[in-house]
Structure 1
Amino acid sequence: GEDEEELIGMDNIPIKVDMNGGQSDRNSDSTPYISELLGKFEEPVLKQNMAAALISRRRLDIGDLIGKGYYGVVYKALYTHSDSDKQADVAVKTLQARRSEAEALQQFLQDVALVRDLSHPHLLRVVGAVISPSDDPIVVMPFMATEDLGSYVREPAKSLSLVDLLIYCHQIADAMAYLENLNIVHRNLAARNCIILEEDNKTASIKLTDYVVTASLFPKEFYVGEGRVSDLVRWMAPETVEDFIFSSQSDVWSFAVVMWEVLTRGVEPYPNTQADGLISLVKDGKRLPKPRQCPESVYQIMLSCWTISPESRPTFMQLIEQLRPYVATGDQDGGEEKSHLLTSPVDVGGPDEYKQLSG
């Protein structure tokens, strides 16, 4: 039969599950596999949400490769909705998971079910996930014909003032405060994981991507393993690198690194430092130097996010308040000089300017 959706009775609750690549016949390898993955969960609502987060691989017509990241590759795809046969462009990210045992996939699915319900103007929605016994897990998101924030600020042709750049940072802090309030940890905050949407005569709008869902699939060894240290540590708090502790406070550390990326107009953090030597330098008090056109007061905000003790860092709610005076129009304190500083264009610098760490 054509119908790939099946009613699976779990604890006598009929749940409609959109099978991942499953056939409608009972011999499909995915049907028992998905039933088993979901079978562990007692909570009917959670189970239902997780079932709703599953997307059938057969509903995705995967097209061109559009990006590669640390965790996997991203393709453009055409998604056919199960209930209406309507089609939509989506981006699918295949996660080259380092862990594929049932517990990791169950946690992954639970995370996807959790973030599917989030709604914030600066978060890119998660549509759902594809899981099958033989392939890498896939996260499905709306497709945006745009670029990431890191690439965007690196373009010399774009005239961007300090206010523009700080508005982007403020929008990111706003989305992060929303996650923080829900006790959701992003874990992967970097300029490459923010996309930027330009609208005519309006300030461009940032959308955060890649939040939460990689958590269960990539163990500590992926970041810091036998004889190798991933470049991802450039964005990570010391307690994350050393003890694999992720929290809203470690997100705050990463956020200040994103601020630094944005205000230097796209320089890679610690351009002159090998990833494996980074944490000992940071623990010795070395920090990213002040971006050339960054006001001292903004740099102090960044430094406060880079205190070794996580409890001493500001919250995202506090960061929103601290950044607000720089982005609020018309009420800048400090008169013309400050206002000129904020509205003049920021040059695209190069890594050579930032070889010397401060502290």
Structure 2
Amino acid sequence: MKFLDECKIYVRSGDGGSGCVSFRREKYIPLGGPDGGDGGRGGDVIFEADAHLNTLIDFRYTQHFRAKRGGNGMGKQRTGRSADDLIIRAPVGTIIRDDADGEILADLTEPGERIVVARGGQGGRGNLHFKTSTNRAPRRSDPGREGEELWLRLELKLLADVGLVGMPNAGKSTLISKLSAARPKIADYPFTTTTPNLGVVRADIDRSFVMADVPGLIEGAGDGAGLGHRFLKHIERCAVLLHLVEIDGLEDFDPVARYQTIEAELTKYAPTLASKPRLLALSKIDLLEPEDREVVLGWFRDRLGDDLPPIFLISSTSGEGLDHLRMTLAERVEAWRNAMGESAHDALMDAPTKAGRGAVAEAVAEDAWDDDEDDADEDGVECIWVRE
């Protein structure tokens, strides 16, 4: 499954049905009054958050969505049939914007959440409504009102508790494959990861969290270099950042500079990222002797001083330090959730929803997660498997 996180689509709600011009004609009542019914309501266009989806790829092949028109009114005061609403399913974490002005119409953060983006037109009035004391046989009716139409821009921001960042080939994909059951592509060359990967990390029987591995960042990523803005947005909602720096030798190697480069790019992209809680993990330490490890730690302490986050020495190959890192991440995520006082997904909303054009948000309480979904394709998001 290909990963697509931005797209543009056209939606139009249904027109209302036309009112009817009709007169009562029955035996012995040849000159009955008007009895034309009203037209039916046009269908609404509704977005629904679907936890089984993790990409916007379906919108690449279908970009125009039109709800049906309401039925016309009929004689004997019969109202036309209201059209069915058009339900468009999108992944949880999708932001819906009006393409004309960029206004946020909705931020779908809960499975089953619904938002009406275009209201169907009202049905027209039948001639029964136009009867007056001076016009007993009106031959007038209203056409149905037109539906709303607009171009929308959909933007997917993955919902995860922990965001995994670092330079290319730092071992991020290997780490997430060890902590969870996600199976991203792993190879010994830079930029192996080209799409985000999600995995559920089980800390213990009662605690788990979602980790997101985004493609490697380079200098200038905050300005769009490399994969740049394309994937930095996926860590904006994370509660904790885990910065991974590889340690594969001491000659001609400056891990502190690598750390500072990525931190500067995160701050440049979004200042809010600089204030997020973070942990620093030095990977591939199995390649260093014990005395060399202390040398590297000394570099970080001397050059970062009070800005040094909690630091962990890990090896995804040998498993050294992974249990301690897993439990610490779980504690940080749990503390963040408790501090927010709301569910994790409620807290992940980074901006209030603006319901434009009469849009109405409707929360639907249902647990739609499906752990049996087959997400093994390399080109898609690895979501969501749990390692017990």
- Using the size of structure 1 for normalisation, the TM-score is 0.22
Bigger-Rg structure (1/2): 2
Larger helix percent: 1
- Using the size of structure 2 for normalisation, the TM-score is 0.21
